[in-house]
Amino acid sequence: MFPNEHVYQRARRRSIAEGRRCVQADGSKRLLMVDECLDSVGTTIPGRSLYAQNETYLEFCNSGWEQQWKAGIGSFFVLLPCLLVFWGLYGFAIHPFITGNMLFLWFGAFEARSNFVWFGWLLLFPLSLGCCVLLWLWFDIMGARTCFFTYARGRIRFNRVTRKVYLLRPRGCGGNAVFDWDQGVLHSEFRGETSLVPLPRETQDRISMMYQFMNMPTHEGTFVILMSNGRKVEHYSYRLVNEVRIKTPAGEFDTFHFERVTYSPKESRAEVWLAKERDNFPVKVVFDDPKGLRLEQDLIALQTR
């Protein structure tokens, strides 16, 4: 089952900012540091996501897959009343126009009466429309359809022998991808098409990309970051706008103000402010989507160890 991936893909189609908000990468939730332990002993992995491991590979599965049984039971309680309403609409409102008789559940055919026909059209027809909306919300918007006729779980496999990272997921959730680090190639399978995309060194994903400014030559004024979304690799160019002191909830910082260089009105805009005294750590980020959505992130606290 892939409810989280399905919801993210829907949000990502609307805009990058919506996708970041969906996975709580917009600053609304504090994320753990790479070397930070939880209050319990060691670090726990949520959702029983450690799926398999041996001397060759370590494999994780997507969070939420263990909820598949709940989606199955929920689908039964959603489908059963909807099917009863649809059958009632057919028996009371549609079948009389075809045969002159009406059907009532499993009790057989009866002579059609005008009051029952009006009952079917005035009550059961609106209920049927409501059931259609309910089925759309349950199976498409909430992603319950991802627990049927597809893989039980998605997998992320780190293979020590082939030195490849395998991302296995359904087409509706982004498709399969294989990251071959030694050969510098991304193998992508999406909507029935297989493609090979060169994977240059230092390629980032959408989340890690914002923290690579710390390694960039900001003094040069412009630089390029390579970003992959699992299907292709894009070049994101940034240029220096000015040097300004800004105020955030974490305090005031002298910053380098960079913005993304766009070449089309359909491209999303991005601005980032890097703290000079903090090794160019991003303290403020702004995303502007062509559809009108604006997302701002401000540093709330910063601790070093």
| Residue-wise pLDDT tens digits, 61-70 | 776 666 777 8
What pLDDT is attached to residue 1?
A: 59
What pLDDT is attached to residue 229?
A: 67
What pLDDT is attached to residue 213?
A: 74
pLDDT of 48 > 70? The answer is no
- Find the DSSP H helices in 23-124: 68-89, 95-99, 114-119
Range with the poorest average pLDDT among 22-26, 36-40, 104-108, 256-260: 36-40
Name every residue whose Cβ is closer than 8 Å to that of residue 141 and which is 6 or more positions away in sequence.
10
Range with the poorest average pLDDT among 81-90, 111-120, 246-255: 111-120
What pLDDT is attached to residue 43?
A: 46
What pLDDT is attached to residue 24?
A: 66
pLDDT of 224 > 90? The answer is no
Average model confidence (pLDDT) for the chain?
78
What is the C-alpha to C-alpha distance for residues 248 and 115, in angstroms, rounded to an integer?
68
Q: Residue 128 — very low, low, confident or very high, per pLDDT cuts 50/70/90?
A: very high
What pLDDT is attached to residue 253?
A: 92
Q: 240: part of which helix (H) or strand (E)?
A: strand 233-248
Burial of 37 (0-12, 13-18, 19+ CB in 10 A): exposed
Contact 121, 93 (CB under 8 A): yes
pLDDT of 9 > 80? The answer is no
Range with the poorest average pLDDT among 123-127, 182-186, 224-228: 182-186
Contact 233, 227 (CB under 8 A): yes
pLDDT of 124 > 80? The answer is yes
What pLDDT is attached to residue 291?
A: 79
Q: The whole model's pTM is what?
A: 0.52
Phi, psi of 181 (to 5 degrees): -70, -35
DSSP 138: I
What is the C-alpha to C-alpha distance for residues 300 and 278, in angstroms, rounded to an integer?
14
Q: In the chain, what are the domain boundaries?
A: 45-62+153-199, 67-147, 200-305
pLDDT of 295 > 80? The answer is yes
pLDDT of 228 > 50? The answer is yes
Q: Taking residues 136-153, report their average pLDDT.
A: 80
Counting residues of the chain whose pLDDT is more than 70, the rounded percentage is 78
What is the C-alpha to C-alpha distance for residues 29 and 59, in angstroms, rounded to an integer?
26
| pLDDT tens digits, one per residue of 10-43 | 777 777 777 777 766 666 665 555 455 555 444 4
Highest mean pLDDT among 43-57, 129-143, 231-245: 129-143
Counting residues of the chain whose pLDDT is more than 90, the rounded percentage is 13
